[in-house]
């Protein structure tokens, strides 16, 4: 990492133990828990880099991007993107509703989740202004259209062997693996490409958990496990809403995609979770809550800590961290068998109801 990012990491580590509630850090970190403070500090840095990078991206109307792909009069291309954005918005709308119900639609709390709301196109002013999109928004919407496995997961078709045969199942994952390999190739071209490719993979994985699902199915297959506890999968992969040991209700996305892979051998056993797993999965949940609190910590100079981080780092800094963090280490070339596919379908069935 650059010297500046090393200093930022030291500052984040200090903040974990000085600004975060002591009872929470004491509960989450102990010698027996696989996710140690340094590992969590790296995850905080990842979230801060994500925030800084996304804030740095320019936004343009949809027409700006269509100029490079279609004639101005080609309304079919515009409508194709619009349909994709509406499709992707289903996931965000569900989470916004979820958080609203959990917070009692408290205006102050809901302000934190306003980015989940889509642009209102029902009024003329909204239609004239149009969609304001970044290059990453366009890329994600193209994936909704072109990466068939995402649509199959969202529509829950993939869980049924009648709708998606084993052969088709393998083809969908092969297509996805080829997509990741292209991202890895792009990540080697420049600092900007490294950030873009890393964040694209990070976003797809925390939203749809394809790598996590494969690794759990693979572990179950190798260890003769047929049934796994739903609440363990929920804690590791789904959006969280729970009562913290701090006595407050916390809602947040489950984005520790690298860290949760380390926990699979400890968390995945046959049947219901035992006392050890129950305790340690709550430690994991509280770590997600700790990250949620981090997003709202104020800096000593005023404003949010994450915004202070953004203003005092640059693209070279962010890329130096992403190169060391290596988000693509979460990707695995997949080898399927009928038994492993059956387990993966079961996991998908347990995890996809919230994707409606």
pLDDT in tens, the chain (356 residues): 999 999 999 999 999 988 888 888 889 998 778 899 999 999 999 999 999 999 998 876 656 555 555 554 555 655 655 555 555 566 566 566 656 665 677 666 666 556 656 555 454 344 434 567 787 777 777 666 678 998 899 888 999 999 999 999 999 999 999 999 999 999 999 999 999 999 999 999 998 999 999 999 999 999 999 999 999 999 999 888 888 887 877 777 899 999 999 999 999 999 999 999 999 999 999 998 889 888 888 887 778 999 999 999 999 999 999 999 999 999 999 999 999 999 999 999 998 754 44
pTM of the model: 0.83
d(CA 200, CA 198): 5
Nearest by Cα to 52 from 199, 207, 240, 259 = 199
Q: At what angle do helices 230-237 and 210-222 cross, to 10 degrees?
A: 140
User: DSSP assignment, residue 32?
Assistant: T
């Amino acid at each position: 990492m650059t010297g500046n990012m090393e200093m930022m990491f030291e500052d984040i580590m200090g903040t974990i133990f000085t600004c975060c509630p002591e009872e929470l850090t004491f509960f989450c970190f102990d010698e027996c828990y696989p996710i140690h403070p340094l590992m969590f500090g790296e995850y905080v840095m990842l979230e801060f880099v994500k925030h800084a990078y996304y804030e740095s991206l320019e936004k343009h109307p949809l027409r700006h991007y269509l100029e490079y792909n279609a004639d101005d009069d080609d309304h079919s291309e515009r409508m194709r993107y619009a349909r994709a954005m509406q499709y992707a918005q289903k996931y965000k709308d569900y989470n916004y509703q979820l958080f609203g119900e959990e917070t009692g639609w408290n205006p102050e709390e809901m302000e934190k989740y306003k980015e989940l709301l889509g642009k209102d196109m029902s009024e003329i002013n909204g239609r004239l202004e149009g969609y304001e999109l970044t290059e990453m928004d366009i890329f994600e919407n193209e994936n909704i259209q072109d990466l068939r496995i995402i649509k199959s997961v969202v529509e829950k078709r993939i869980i049924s062997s009648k709708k998606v045969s084993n052969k088709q199942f393998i083809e969908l994952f092969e297509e996805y693996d080829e997509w990741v390999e292209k991202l890895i190739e792009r990540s080697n071209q420049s600092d900007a490409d490294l950030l873009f490719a890393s964040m694209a993979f990070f976003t797809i994985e925390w939203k749809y958990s394809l790598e996590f699902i494969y690794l759990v199915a693979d572990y179950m297959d190798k260890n003769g496990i047929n049934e796994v506890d739903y609440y363990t999968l929920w804690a590791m992969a789904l959006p969280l809403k729970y009562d913290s040991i701090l006595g407050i209700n916390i809602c947040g996305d489950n984005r520790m995609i690298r860290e949760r892979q380390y926990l699979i051998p400890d968390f995945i056993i046959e049947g219901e979770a035992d006392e050890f797993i129950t305790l340690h999965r709550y430690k994991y949940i509280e770590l997600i809550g700790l990250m949620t609190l981090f997003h709202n910590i104020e800096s000593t100079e005023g404003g949010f800590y994450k915004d202070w981080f953004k203003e005092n780092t640059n693209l070279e800094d962010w890329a130096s961290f992403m190169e060391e963090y290596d988000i693509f280490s979460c990707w695995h070339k997949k080898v399927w068998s009928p038994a492993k596919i059956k387990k993966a379908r079961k996991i998908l069935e347990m995890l996809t109801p919230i994707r409606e």
